[in-house]
């Protein structure tokens, strides 16, 4: 490998890491579910191409929001073990470089969505960018311990974006998926905040475990998982999914409640980590069940 290549590759990785690739993968996957549900039966090649352009545009704008988040929170990130490795926190990338990268991704993604998909999807995705990068990161996160609850609306948008990409409007099915992610977000992040509480305390962010304590946060996690379980039944009740999804949703949601129940009764950092990790499994498998069920429900 040439000297130039060895210098460029680490640089590329630095920029790529700011987009939070694992988070973006989940965002695009949830958007894809919205796209799939918006198309009855097997999609045509034109619909597949439309979905591909939609996923690309959503990925680019979501990555732009993540980069902007890293830029705004670079001082906070530097104080936290979980985020201190980020190139913006370590000073490996300048503010100007991060800002230009964020703007470039946002503009490119918006153009892709406007030209190749439809204006509604572009505007909804841009509104999501503003909601996460500005409303949540700049205003809500340092202001209130309910930052995750209110800001969760931005993170719950992907199914709406996916549906809009394929239909040019937003249907009730997309709002149901939005509600599921919206209710999933607080117990997911609060489980993380429980075992990272000292990091958040040092950063000065008013996360719930810092402002209201460990026990209160555990109770909120438990209550949210109960409400989430009920919301996860809505796709079946609305007849947008069948029995395969219902069984999967019940098993996954009861397991999530089980983790929250044990966490509420007997706290440990290890159990909080397991709860956080299972929350990712819960959402991923739940939406995978919706995807599979969409194609097999008529056979069951």
What's the pLDDT score for residue 298?
A: 55
One domain for residues 186 and 52: no
Residue 6 has pLDDT above 60, yes or no: no
d(CA 169, CA 142): 34
What domain range is 149 assigned to?
13-169
Residues 158-175, mean pLDDT to the nearest whole number: 93
Q: Where does a domain end: 112, 140, 169?
A: 169
| Total domains in the fold of the chain | 2
Q: Is residue 108 part of a domain?
A: yes
Stretch 281-293: mean pLDDT: 94
pLDDT at 5 over 80: no
How confident is the model over 49-93, as pLDDT tens digits?
999 999 999 999 999 999 998 888 888 778 877 777 788 888 888
Q: What distance in Å separates the CA atoms of residue 279 and residue 194, rounded to the nearest whole number?
A: 14
Helix, strand, or coil (residue 103): helix
Q: Could you tell me if residue 55 is inside a domain?
A: yes
Q: Sign of dihedral through CA atoms 22, 96, 108, 138?
A: positive
- 198 and 287 in a single domain? The answer is yes
* Cα gap 166→117, rounded to integer Å: 8
CA 140, 141, 143: angle at the middle one, nearest 5?
A: 60
pLDDT at residue 1 in the model: 36
Residues 151 and 17 grouped into a single domain: yes
Residues 165 and 177 placed together within one structural domain of the fold: no
**Shared domain check, 156 and 113:** yes
Regarding whether 124 and 75 lie in a shared domain, the answer is: yes
Among 169, 203, 236, give the residue marking a domain's end: 169
How many Cα atoms sit within 13 Å of 127 on the Cβ side?
12
In a shared domain, residues 197 and 140: no
**Alpha carbon of 81 to those of 5, 175, 196, 203: distances in Å?**
30, 36, 9, 10
Average pLDDT over residues 155-181: 93
| pLDDT digit string, tens, across residues 239-248 | 999 999 999 9
What token pair was written down for 21? 């690739």
51 and 179 belong to one structural domain: no
Verify that 22 and 158 share a domain, yes or no.
yes
Shared domain for 121 and 247, answered yes or no, is no
Mean pLDDT value of segment 266-290: 95
Neighbouring residues of 129: CB distance < 8 A, sequence distance ≥ 6: 61, 62, 64, 65, 68, 106
Closest residue by Cα to residue 156 from 119, 107, 189: 189
Least confident of 111-125, 136-150, 171-185: 136-150
Could you tell me if residue 1 is inside a domain? no
C-alpha atoms less than 13 angstroms from C-alpha of 10 in its C-beta half-sphere: 9
Query: Quick one: 159 and 24 in the same domain?
Result: yes
Q: Which of 92-96, 123-127, 158-162, 244-248 has the lowest mean pLDDT?
A: 92-96
pTM of the model: 0.88
Q: Select from 125, 143, 169 the last residue of a domain.
A: 169
Please report the pLDDT score of residue 149 as a whole number.
Answer: 79
């Amino acid at each position: 490998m040439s000297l130039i290549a060895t210098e460029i590759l680490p640089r590329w990785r630095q920029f790529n890491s700011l987009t939070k690739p694992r988070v973006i993968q989940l965002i695009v996957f949830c958007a894809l579910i919205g796209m799939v549900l918006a198309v009855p039966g097997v999609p045509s090649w034109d619909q597949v191409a439309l979905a591909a352009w939609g996923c690309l545009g959503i990925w680019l704008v979501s990555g732009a929001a993540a980069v902007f988040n890293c830029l705004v929170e670079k001082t906070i990130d530097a104080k936290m073990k979980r985020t201190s490795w980020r190139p913006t926190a370590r000073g490996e990338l300048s503010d100007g470089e991060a800002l230009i990268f964020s703007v470039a991704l946002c503009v490119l993604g918006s153009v892709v969505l406007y030209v190749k998909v439809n204006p509604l999807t572009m505007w909804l995705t841009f509104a999501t960018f503003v909601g996460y990068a500005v409303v949540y990161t700049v205003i809500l996160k340092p202001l209130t311990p309910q930052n995750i609850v209110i800001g969760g609306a931005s993170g719950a948008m992907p199914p709406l974006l996916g549906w809009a990409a394929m239909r040019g409007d937003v249907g009730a099915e997309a709002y149901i998926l939005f509600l599921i992610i919206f209710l999933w977000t607080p117990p997911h992040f609060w489980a993380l905040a429980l075992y990272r509480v000292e990091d958040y305390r040092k950063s000065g962010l008013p996360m719930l475990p810092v402002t209201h304590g460990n026990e209160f946060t555990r109770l909120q996690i438990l209550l949210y998982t109960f409400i989430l379980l009920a919301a996860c039944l809505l796709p079946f009740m609305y007849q947008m999914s069948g029995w395969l999804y219902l069984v999967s949703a019940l098993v996954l949601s009861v397991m999530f409640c089980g983790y929250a129940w044990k966490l509420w009764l007997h706290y440990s950092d290890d159990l909080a980590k397991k709860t956080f990790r299972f929350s990712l499994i819960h959402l991923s498998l739940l939406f995978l069940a919706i995807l599979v069920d969409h194609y097999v429900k008529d056979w069951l």
